[in-house]
Amino acid sequence: MSRPILPLSLGVQLGTLVACALLFWCFRRWLDRKARNPRGLPLPPGPKGLPIVGNLFQLPQKDPWLEYDRMNREYGDLVYLEAVGQPILILGSLEKANEILERKSSKYSDRPVLPALQMIDVAWSFSLFQYGPELRHYRKTFHQYFNANVISRYQPILDEEVTAFLRKLHKSPELFLDHTRDLLGYAIMRIAYGFDDPEVNRGLLHDGETMLKAFVEVSLPGRYLVNDIPILRHVPAWFPGAGFKARFAELAQVSRRMHVDSFERVKTNLENGRRSAHPSMAADLVDKMPNEGNPARSKYNEVAQDVCAVAYAAGADTMISTLFALFLALAMHPEVQEKAQKELDSVIGSGRLPTLNDQKSLPYISAIVKEISRWHTVAPIGLPHVTAEDDEYNGYFIPKGTYVMANSWAILHDPNVYDAPEKFNPDRFMKDGALDPTVRDPGVAVFGYGRRVCPGRWLSDSTLFLVTACFLSVYNVYPPKDDSGNSIPLKIEVAPALVSTPLPFKCNIRLRSSQHAHLF
């Protein structure tokens, strides 16, 4: 007697269904691509992939800028990849980034629609908006508070936080990494929301850092299969491999806390007569909010809380990473500290700390800021641009929906532009005692490209200049010593993420002299 044929388990049935759906989806994409490219133009060069999954398993998960740079050196400044049918284009030079993302920006300024980002509830971030009137409105609102002409209104906040930072270093220099986080985090919370309570700010900043890391992680090509196969977002949480759903749900709660609750707290404070000592972005937006009953009020409130949350979430993290790298680089290069302090002593003297008004008179300090931005590229590969339509470039077919990413790290470490690019050398930006305008400014790559350039770049540059100038006016930084009193060599090591942050390190920070303590 034959054994009865048992039905397939539910898990196997679902797995078969998903596999069939995937095959059908890939086939439809192939047919569609063929119809849209009737001339049969070739795709840009790149490594050969596998059937169905393409280059999915060749997408680097650690230090992707290094692997993409290797691919660019092998295949050229354009490298084409596909992950489960999703086209990806890597730009390995500033020339290609400018030609494609700047000059053809009308076609190359959209963003990916990533299910993972929708699931963690960060759709409020206008950096994810498709290019169009809504994005322009959000950027215009943000620009009102962070353009080059208004940064001076935040100088009192920056001066107070920098002075507090110098005092903390004097009291507990071994905690310099924590003090740096406090400095930049508290400054951006005061600028964005007017929150002066350090304990409140510390909790909110933790939420912001959590969401920024999640934002970056889930955007990385190949990291989450749900971005390549959107139907997976509907798979039940108990299904094998669907553990991401529970984590994404937790992140969505954090997102609401930082996005909605922070802005509502400002409204409550103002209603109760509690206004911060210095102007803030949120308070000004609340003051200008349409009256109750005005049909424009709801949309205005949405835009206001969104742009404040963007400043909160992204404003401090990149600057923190840059300053960590700066302290490391300075400890490795005492000659840079010495040269900077000669300039500071000559221009500023010993009676006060530098201010933003001194920037034009301190070219070497500005050169240090430029060099640390180049040497430690904090966003080696930013968020992808997406093609809004099919395009032809240099005889290649670029499909609609292609993720286009410029390798900013490679652009800022190009040996044809920067001599010995692996070395930290601010003098590369100097000539005859002034900044050399002929040297490629890191700003061409650090802040993004085309219509997606970071609107907070002026606050970032001003803050980094002020912290660098004030720190070097007062302190020296040295490598740590071992038990025998010998200096321990330092080297930069970064955490694996799209926002490149140096791993924790030790160094010794000491006053230049006892007389310098009176400056803070």
Q: How far is 425 from 368, CA to CA, in rounded Å?
A: 8
| Alpha-carbon span 48 to 484, nearest angstrom | 54
- C-alpha–C-alpha distance, residues 309 and 124, integer Å: 8
**Listed residue (183, 166, 187, 352) closest to 278, CA to CA:** 187
Q: For residue 99, what is the DSSP state? A: I
Evaluate whether 275 touches 90 at the Cβ level (below 8 Å): no
Measure the CA–CA gap between 456 and 188, rounded to whole angstroms: 11
Paired tokens of 326: 């700066």
Task: Report how far Cα 410 is from the mean position of its chain's Cα atoms.
Answer: 16
Residue whose pair of structure tokens reads 């269904």 in the numeric block: 17
Unique residue bearing structure tokens 């690019």: 421
Give the C-alpha separation, 499 to 485, whole Å.
35
Which element (helix H / strand E) includes 165?
helix 155-171
Nearest CA-CA partner of 367 in 418, 431, 320: 431
Helices (H), ranges, 447-492: 457-474
Phi and psi torsions of 405, nearest 5°? -130, 130
What value, to the nearest 5°, has the Cα angle with vertex 392 and ends 389 and 393? 125
Alpha-carbon distances, residue 44 vs 26, 75, 81, 82, 469 (angstroms): 20, 9, 9, 11, 46
Q: Which residue has the tokens 């410029």?
A: 406
Q: Are strands 86-91 and 403-406 parallel, antiparallel or unpaired?
A: parallel
Could you tell me the two tokens for 149?
């002409």
Q: What is the DSSP string of 221-283?
A: TTT-GGGTSGGGGGS-TTSTT-THHHHHHHHHHHHHIIIIIHHHHHHHHHHTT---SS--HHH
Q: What is the DSSP string of 320-372?
A: HHHHHHHHHHHHH-HHHHHHHHHHHHHHT-SSS---GGGGGG-HHHHHHHHHH
Does 26 carry a binding-site annotation?
A: no
The token pair that represents 196 in the structure block: 């002066």
Whole-angstrom distance between the N-terminal and C-terminal Cα of the chain?
93
Residue corresponding to tokens 């219509």: 451
Residue 380 DSSP class: S
| Alpha carbons 424 and 413: distance in angstroms, whole number | 11
CB atoms within 10 A of CB 272: 8
Q: Which residues fall in the annotated binding site for heme?
A: 454
